[in-house]
Amino acid sequence: MKNLLRMALPLLILGSGIAGFAILHATKPAPDANEEPPRPVSVFVEPVRRADARLDVVTFGEVRARTDVELVAQVAGRVVSISPEFTEGGLFAAGETLLVIEDTDHRLALQQARSDVADAELGVQQALAAADVARRQLGGNPNPTPLALHEPQINQARVRLDAARARLEQAELNLRRTRISLPFAGRVHTIRANVGQYVSPGTPLGRAFATDIAEVRLPLTNAQLASLGLPIGYATAPGSGRPVRFEAAVGAEVASWQGELLRIDAAVDPSTRLIYGLAQVVDPYGAGVSGTGMPLAVGLYVEAVIEGRQVAGAQVIPREALRAGNQTFVVTPEGLLQVRQVSVSHADSQQAVIAEGLAAGEQVVISSLRNPIDGMRVHPIRRGEATAAAAPDSLAR
């Protein structure tokens, strides 16, 4: 009997639990139905504006000197002295001597050339005197020959004099070439010679550039050329070109310089299909420095903002409202999202000018939006508005 009770007791407990669970499940209250609609995603919007716009073009280029030359020896000799400014970055004036080549041989050659000129002048005088004597002696001869009158001897003496004078001029020129200078003010870029080095004609001595004008070659696309409103082959005089603002990060600051676009190439680059414009900055190491005194250094890579043409009554939207190049998100008055293709006539870092696809006053989304679906419900918020409905986790900034 005791064994039977031991076996039945667990079964009774299990049965009681199952019965209790069935009763609780049958008598539980029904859950309340959730009738709240899906919450719309909050987005920042801005209206499409109709305004006058200037189609500024942004491009990039490398600064170079308009005049950049290589110093080359024209005479042979040993370098005996150099200017203190003949070093990388050295500043020199027009006509200032940068290197001096030993001139002893050239001075001796000059003295020899002067002696040769004196001998040749004497030869001309002797030939003229001999011709005068011959004319007197042949006074009765009605048809004297040119040789009898010493005319070939006179011509020969004069030719020898011309040759001697040419050698003298060459000797003087070689002597001047022992002192190497440039006809413009500038800076030394690199040096390849020093005191004691022997150089021959054609030996590279260094490289220097003028500091009067800096140039920047700027690549332009067809769309950018249309924004400028300038034709291929455009050229104008200095002082009347399109304003250009150059910017670059130099050290711990972003420096800015003012220049002008003076010309556009007359041909398209066949390898890149781009058109290049030429901009200039006058006196980049002097009066043309930035507001903080930073020069527009040769070799610097700069951003160029070229002043474009004016467009009256353009459809303007913020640049962040433009997506994938030619797409915008528009919020309808009913709060529904429309994914719309637009025709963009110009875009820069601040704004975009729309040719077709939008109307003034329409609301365009300027905040990021995850998984946008055409027709989805959104909650538009103007930039700067504060509303309790815009939850931080659903509002994309």
The pLDDT of residue 396 is 41
- Which CATH number is 57-65+212-308's, of 2.40.50.100, 3.40.50.150, 3.40.50.1950, 2.40.30.170? 2.40.30.170
Token look-up 């556009």 returns: 264
Residue among 357, 261, 263, 242 nearest 310 (CA): 242
Token look-up 């951003």 returns: 303
Return the number of other C-beta atoms located less than 10 Å from residue 229's C-beta.
13
Higher pLDDT, 148 or 6: 148
Contacts with 262 (C-beta within 8 Å, 6 or more apart), sequence order: 235, 236, 237, 238, 241, 278, 279, 280
Residue among 331, 330, 334 nearest 322 (CA): 330
Asked whether the CA dihedral 72, 76, 78, 82 is positive or negative, the reply is negative
Using CA atoms, how far residue 262 sits from 150, 258, 268, 281, 336, in Å, is 65, 13, 17, 10, 50
Topology of domain 75-101+179-210, per CATH? OB fold (Dihydrolipoamide Acetyltransferase, E2P) (2.40.50)
The pLDDT of residue 29 is 75
DSSP three-state, residue 383: coil
For the chain, the first-to-last Cα distance in angstroms comes to 79
Residue among 145, 74, 139 nearest 103 (CA): 74
Indicate the domain borders of the chain: 43-52+313-382, 57-65+212-308, 75-101+179-210, 103-177
Topology of domain 43-52+313-382, per CATH? 2.40.420
Instruction: Summarize the confidence of residues 11-28 as an average pLDDT.
Output: 74
Yes or no: say if 251 and 105 are a contact pair by the CB < 8 Å rule.
Answer: no
Token look-up 């420096």 returns: 255
Do 43-52+313-382 and 75-101+179-210 have matching folds? no
DSSP three-state, residue 281: strand
The values of phi and psi at residue 351, to 5°, are -150, 170
The pLDDT of residue 371 is 85
The pLDDT of residue 144 is 80
> From CA 347, how far away is CA 57, in angstroms rounded?
9
For residue range 125-158, list pLDDT tens digits in order.
999 999 888 888 887 677 888 888 888 999 999 9
The pLDDT of residue 337 is 92
DSSP secondary structure letters along 41-75 = EEEEEEEPEEEEEE--EEEEEEEEES-EEEEE-SS
For residue range 74-115, list pLDDT tens digits in order.
999 999 999 999 999 999 999 999 999 999 999 999 999 999
For residue range 224-271, list pLDDT tens digits in order.
999 999 999 999 999 999 999 999 999 888 999 999 999 999 999 999
The pLDDT of residue 272 is 92
